[in-house]
Every structure is written in structure tokens, then in C-alpha cells.
Chains A and B, each alone.
Chain A
Amino acid sequence: AQTVTQSQPEMSVQEAETVTLSCTYDTSESDYYLFWYKQPPSRQMILVIRQEAYKQQNATENRFSVNFQKAAKSFSLKISDSQLGDAAMYFCAYRSADSGANNLFFGTGTRLTVIP
């Protein structure tokens, strides 16, 4: 089974600064999808950004961008100009591109604190 590892249980960033959250994964597949989800204290899991493994270009979504290194099986999330509302648990997730595969494999999460 695929595994997703987030080695930083907690991170903190000063408001308006930039922070990078790490994620690595293990798979033997060549085609797959990677996701970053955010779970604020209200608990609703929200999709932040998505990356298709066949695309070399890193995904960006406003202040959020990823550094996707397929050979290294690394998928980090960069948050620029951090805001207080960015404080949350961040989960990295992997899904096979096989149309018959439904399972999302999640990491254990990184708790991000934003310091005013």
C-alpha cells in the first residue's frame, strides 16, 4: 500500500511570511494524484491544491504553491504571505490514477500556527 509521510508534526510562521510544509510518499505507480487538504479548528476538511503526477508544472492556487519532485517522491506546500486564517492542520494525500481506485492515502498532518 502507498504511504504518505509528513515529518513535521507542528510548524509556525510569522504573519505575512512564507512557510513550507513537507510531504513524501512511497509508490510504485507512475500515474497518480497528490493533494493538500486543510482542516481548520472547525474541522471541515478543505481542498487546498491538487497536482497530477503526469504534469511537470507545479500547481499554484493564489498564495499556495507546491514543489513536486517526482523522482524524489516529494510534494511540499508553500504558503506565501501567511494569514491568520491559514492556521490549521494540513494533510498531504495520495490517490492512484487508476479509475477503479477510490482510496485516498493521508499523512498524519502538520499543525500550522500563524503568529500575529
Chain B
Amino acid sequence: ETGVTQTPRHLVMGMTNKKSLKCEQHLGHNAMYWYKQSAKKPLELMFVYNFKEQTENNSVPSRFSPECPNSSHLFLHLHTLQPEDSALYLCASSQVILQGTSTDTQYFGPGTRLTVL
């Protein structure tokens, strides 16, 4: 396995469904991220986990629920989504250094293309 993997690659769901996106990183990193990529908009950071603890939630609706059981795995649980939630969801990981500065380069997975009907 290389880098950051995401499953599934494509997902179609109805507004009443419950589904989960999975991300796994094989880089030994200690921070993981969920981003939303919509057409013609900048990538939007949704959630950040440092050392398995959520440190940032950029006003994401509660129909998106993250879970980080360990430093290698990250989930995004989805329920009662809206059609406007259709987008590419990208996972990323990085190595955060707490003392001093860090370039903290983020490495991305291939994404899950989500379509909400």
C-alpha cells in the first residue's frame, strides 16, 4: 500500500441513506484531514485530527461526522445529506511537529466522488 488510500472511490447515495468514507495513511503521520472539493471552489478544510484528537471543525454541518480511531485511520460518516453535498472528498495526512515550526506538508489520497440524489 502506498501513501494515503481512500475507499470507496465512488459513492452514490440517497438523502436518507447512511454511509461512511474511509481513509488510511501508511506514512506514519500523526495528523489527518478531510477536505471537500467542489467545482470552481477552493478546497475546503472540514476536519483536522492531531494525535487522534479533533482540533478543528470549520463549521461543518452535523450531517457529517468524523471518526479517528487511531493515527492511521480516519472515517467520515454521512447521514441525511443534501444534493449540494455532492463533491469530491479528499483525505490528507501530515507529520505535525509540536515544538517549533514545521513545514507539515500534507499528502493526499485519491478522493471519493460522492453523488447525493
Contacts and interface: CB of A to CB of B under 8 A. Distances in A.
A108 interface: yes
B108 A44 contact: yes
B42 interface: yes
A44 B103 CA distance: 20
A31 B101 CA distance: 10
Contact of A102 (B33, B43, B99, B100): B33
Contact of A47 (B48, B100, B105, B109): B105
Nearest to B33: A102
Interface string A68-84: 00000000000000000
A39 to B, nearest CB: 8
B56 A103 contact: yes
Nearest to B103: A33
- Of the listed residues A45, A98, A105, the one surrounded by the most CB atoms of chain B closer than 10 A to its CB is A45
Contacts of B100: 99
A101 to B, nearest CB: 9
A90 interface: no
Interface residues of A, number: 26
- Of the listed residues B31, B50, B58, B105, the one surrounded by the most CB atoms of chain A closer than 10 A to its CB is B105
Interface residues of B, number: 33
A28 interface: no
A96 to B, nearest CB: 9
A26 B56 CA distance: 22
A43 B111 contact: yes
A99 B42 contact: no
Contact of B106 (A44, A104, A108, A109): A104
B48 to A, nearest CB: 5
Interface in B62-111: 88, 90, 92, 94, 96-111
A102 B105 CA distance: 10
Given A43-B110, A102-B94, 7 more contacts: A31-B101, A33-B104, A45-B108, A99-B96, A99-B99, A102-B48, A102-B56
Interface of A: 4, 31, 33, 35, 37, 42-47, 50, 52, 91, 95, 97-99, 102-109
Closest 3 CB pairs of A and B: A45-B108, A106-B43, A106-B42
